[in-house]
Chain A
Amino acid sequence: MSDLRKSFGSHVVLRDVSLTVERGECVVLIGASGSGKSTLLRCINLLEPIDDGVIRLEGEDITDPRVSADGVRGRMGIVFQAYNLFPHLSVIDNITLAPRRVHKVPRSEARVRGMAALARVGLQDKAAARPDDLSGGQQQRVAIARALVNDPVVMLLDEVTSALDPELVGEVLDLLRELKAEGMTMILNTHEMGFARQVADEVCFLSEGRILESGPPASVLGAPREPRTRQFLSRLQEQ
């Protein structure tokens, strides 16, 4: 993506954001609340119209108004902080809704694929449960399965552990590590610096809508150049 700009009214949330993510790469966005991390992910998923700039997915300009946004979203998976599962559907129906309705996969096949995705996140025995009957970590794993079932070329993960109790964070992060090991392309934002250090190929520090500093985790997290990055990281360590 190049020269991305996004504003809400007169408030500019993202400016001159340029970023390239290679296949199989994991890019971690860090930064304070309101620095534009979530907005960036939502822009990539075309959930927010951008003001200017170009986002390319496998070489195709997906921000062109002639491109079907639904078609583009079908090739991405996004997972939200608050899970956003559909409470009126069972776990398996949450997962198979998009394959059946969007990709017109027959019910039986969708079920097979859904169960495979559930097995992938280690919850195959919860297929018939309702989201409300699951723990936060389990719900988030279902949400990841729901995003995985469409075989996305890239996964967007928006603070997927922020709403979880500390003891439930681990199970979700373990899952993401496995996905990364399998070669899934991921863009995620998180406040878990230890996790970022482990899985990230590239870390981007966002501040006031700009990518202030980016590079391998060892340099951005280990030896930050920008004073603002240092300030942000030291505040995190105090906690």
Chain B
Amino acid sequence: MPPPDTWRDTGWAPSAVERERAAYRRRRTVRSAGVSALSTLVVVGVATGLLVTSPGWPRVHETYFKWDKAVSSFPAVLTGLWLNLRIMLICAVLIAAFGLLIAVLRTLRGPVFFPLRLFGTAYVDLFRGLPLILVLLLLGYGAPALGLSGVPKSMLFWGCVALVLSYSAYVAEVFRAGIESIHPSQRAAARSLGLTYGQTLRHVVLPQAVRRVVPPLMNDLVSLQKDSGLVSILGITDAIQAARIQTSSDFNYTPYVVAGVLFICLTIPMARFTDWVARRQGFQGTGGHL
């Protein structure tokens, strides 16, 4: 039975049979909600019980979950997190642009473009293969050491460069998968209308390809958000570095937990947003027939 506001002025009202069915469905919904609430409670209860009765719990509690330490370290960690957020936002834009460029380079056809294709492929191979942490260390300490004039010496700058270089390689592959998933008939249709290769790419292929890969890209964005914490190894005072400074005075690791919780608080809305985008995509699906 559809909701009453869709009955509109069709003069339709549900029959007795349908009303009885709707009542049964409602009862069933209530019952299953009750069952799921109960089972969740039992699972959480058992897990909590196991944790707090374990022999080392008092010590772990003292070192990782000390409330006043959490409160005292919170402002510093939060300030650090703001830097993480800014790094993430700026890098995301650069990564999207650079990744798309690499993807397009890799899909170019014809012998003229061989060097560009080669560059794209080599780039992706290199930066997907290199651990991000190595790129960070090499660029963060290596690039400023060159002492070239005009090259920024800021660790933050080079940390961001490392993130962009590494992530662009992954994102380029996602974009390329999207581009290649567009059926050749779309290109044929566009070319038959007289559009050039570039126009076809720009107006027909890319709009569809990008739309199709938004959900996996959002996944990479969530991942980038966490990995922005890796710049802390260059001594940049982000959330993790701020937590480390707080722990070094008394070897109480609660600030790390605080940082962890804050990162999760950032990621969860992003993850739900990703789900929402993916679900909305489903409705515009290009899949099979009914």
**Interface residue ranges, A against B (CB under 8 Å):** 3, 5, 7, 9-10, 12, 15, 38, 42, 51-54, 63-66, 80-82, 84
Contacts and interface: CB of A to CB of B under 8 A. Distances in A.
B288 A7 contact: no
Contact of A53 (B15, B25, B289): B15
Nearest to B19: A52
B17 interface: yes
22 contacts: A3-B15, A5-B12, A7-B2, A9-B6, A12-B10, A12-B12, A15-B12, A51-B1, A51-B2, A51-B14, A51-B18, A52-B18, A53-B15, A53-B17, A54-B17, A63-B21, A64-B21, A65-B24, A65-B25, A66-B24, A80-B289, A84-B288
B47 interface: no
Contact of B289 (A51, A65, A82): A82
A10 B288 CA distance: 25
Nearest to A5: B12
A183 B2 CA distance: 38
B282 to A, nearest CB: 16
A9 B283 CA distance: 14
A83 B17 CA distance: 35
B24 to A, nearest CB: 6
Contacts of B17: 52-54
Contacts of B18: 51-53
The 9 nearest A-B residue pairs measured at CB: A82-B289, A52-B18, A10-B6, A65-B25, A52-B14, A52-B15, A51-B2, A65-B21, A65-B24
B21 to A, nearest CB: 6
B289 A81 contact: yes
Given A52-B14, A52-B17, 19 more contacts: A3-B15, A7-B2, A9-B2, A12-B10, A15-B12, A38-B290, A51-B2, A52-B1, A52-B12, A63-B21, A65-B25, A66-B24, A80-B289, A80-B290, A81-B289, A82-B289, A82-B290, A84-B288, A84-B289
